[in-house]
Amino acid sequence: MTTLTMTTLDPRSRAARRGLSDLSIRNLFIIPTIIFLIVFNIFPLLYSLGYSFTDFRASSNAPANFVGLDNYRTLLNDPFIWSNFAITAKYVIVSVTGQVIVGFGVALLLNREIPFKGLITTLLLLPMMLSMAVVGLFWKLLYDPSFGIINYAFGLGRFEWLSNPDMALYAVALTDIWMWSPFVMLLSLAGLSAVPKHLYEAAAIDRAGPIYTFFRITLPLVAPILMIAIIFRTMEAFKTFDLAYILTSQPTTEVISIRLYKMAFQEWQTGMSCALAYIVLIMVIAITNIYVKYLNKVKER
């Protein structure tokens, strides 16, 4: 990072002789940010990598003993951890699928001639801007079996959403769908508005039906941007913590982030939790890589 070629300024110009050189300005502007991120993101991760090979417990004064790969071995052989991952996977699939269907569906509707389109679009985007934890909490009231408005509005009687172990994960996913469908909608709208109108006109001249037009024109052209939305939401859903933690305490909704939180800050198995954090981290990096590769591919066009 130190040996670089610069867009050099003509050395004879007056400005180049006064003030800082371009090279020092560039370093002054970039290096502090890089250092900040290394100190507060990379260094902590190295710190916890060290602890992941120990039996350290932050709640006791006992010194940490080196245990090698034991933590990793224990975790990867623990069926409960695998069930946490399975719950997370189920949550990701249900929630992202729901967001894509609802978000893309509403975007298709909004892409027609709708009065007050701008205002309605902004209103629909509101949920994703709000705090997951704070709004998520309020969904407890909405889901309440006796006086919640959801059961009332849909005539579900005293349907148990959060206290039913089989239903709780879907309830959390439903709230997530409410919050994040607007995100898919926003990106889909951008994709839809970029579809050239003449393609539809040509299709109309050829008397193509709406279903044909949708699958042959709309969907292929919106697909790249929709894919960005899907990968982004998958990544976020995989990391999910707030909603599930606040809405329920069912074991059936214990996604991997909650397991990690409990292991680290309730059971105080610090060393073990650092190892689990690393397993999660590797998975996140893998998904992030796919995302960035795809993003670059789309950007190039």
Partner 1 sequence: MAAVQTTSERALNRIAIVGVLIATIIFLAPIYWIVSTSFKPRNLATTIPPTVLFEPEISPFVKLVLRRSQLREQPTPEEYAAAPWWERLVFDGGEKVVRDGQGNVQLSGYPSRFVNSLIVAIVSTVLAVGMGTITAYGFSRFKVKGEQDWLFFILSTRMLPPVVVAIPMFLMYRVVGLNDTHLGLIILYTAFNLSFSVWLMKGFIDEIPKEYEEAALVDGYTRMEAFFKVVLPEAATGIAATAVFCFITAWNEYAFALIMTRRTAQTAPPFIPSQVGSGLPDWTVIASGTFLFLLPVAIFTFLLRNHLLRGMSFGAIRK
Contact track, partner 1, 136-175, x by CB under 8 A? -xxxxxx-x-xxxx--xx----------------------
Q: Tell me which stretch binds partner 1 (CB under 8 A): 40-48, 67-75, 84-92, 166-174.
A: 40-48
If the CB atoms of residues 46 and 166 are measured against partner 1, the closer one turns out to be 46
* Minimum distance of partner 1 from residue 93's CB (angstroms): 18
How many helices and strands, by DSSP H and E, does the chain display?
15, 0
If the CB atoms of residues 89 and 190 are measured against partner 1, the closer one turns out to be 190
Of 22, 101, 156, 212, the one binding partner 1 by CB under 8 A: 22
CA distance 110 to 211: 17
CA distance 188 to 186: 6
Within positions 42 to 71, which residues make up the interface with partner 1, using CB under 8 A? 42, 44-45, 47-48, 51, 58
121 with 288: CB under 8 angstroms?
A: no
User: Of 225, 231, 206, which Cα lies nearest the Cα of 216?
Assistant: 206
The phi and psi torsions of 54 (rounded to 5 degrees) equal -125, 170
* Minimum distance of partner 1 from residue 214's CB (angstroms): 11
* Minimum distance of partner 1 from residue 117's CB (angstroms): 8
* Minimum distance of partner 1 from residue 91's CB (angstroms): 14
122 lies in the binding site for partner 1 (CB under 8 A): yes
CA distance 56 to 50: 10
Contacts of 301 (CB under 8 A, 6+ apart): 224
If the CB atoms of residues 42 and 76 are measured against partner 1, the closer one turns out to be 42
Q: Tell me which stretch binds partner 1 (CB under 8 A): 22-30, 84-92, 163-171, 211-219.
A: 22-30
Contacts of 53 (CB under 8 A, 6+ apart): 66, 67, 68, 69, 71, 271, 275
If the CB atoms of residues 166 and 266 are measured against partner 1, the closer one turns out to be 266
If the CB atoms of residues 98 and 182 are measured against partner 1, the closer one turns out to be 182
CA distance 89 to 228: 19
301 lies in the binding site for partner 1 (CB under 8 A): no
Q: Which DSSP category does 209 fall into?
A: -
* Minimum distance of partner 1 from residue 205's CB (angstroms): 9
Within positions 253 to 282, which residues make up the interface with partner 1, using CB under 8 A? 257, 260-261, 264-265, 270, 273-274, 277, 280-281
87 with 252: CB under 8 angstroms?
A: yes
Q: Tell me which stretch binds partner 1 (CB under 8 A): 36-44, 73-81, 83-91, 165-173.
A: 36-44
Within positions 170 to 229, which residues make up the interface with partner 1, using CB under 8 A? 178, 181-183, 186-187, 189-190, 197, 200-201, 204, 210, 225, 228
Query: First CA to last CA across the chain, in angstroms?
Result: 29
The residues that bridge with 54 in the sheet, in sequence order, are 66
The structure tokens listed for 207 are: 């008397």
Longest distance between any two alpha carbons in the chain, whole Å: 83
* Minimum distance of partner 1 from residue 83's CB (angstroms): 18
92 with 237: CB under 8 angstroms?
A: yes
If the CB atoms of residues 37 and 69 are measured against partner 1, the closer one turns out to be 37
13 lies in the binding site for partner 1 (CB under 8 A): yes
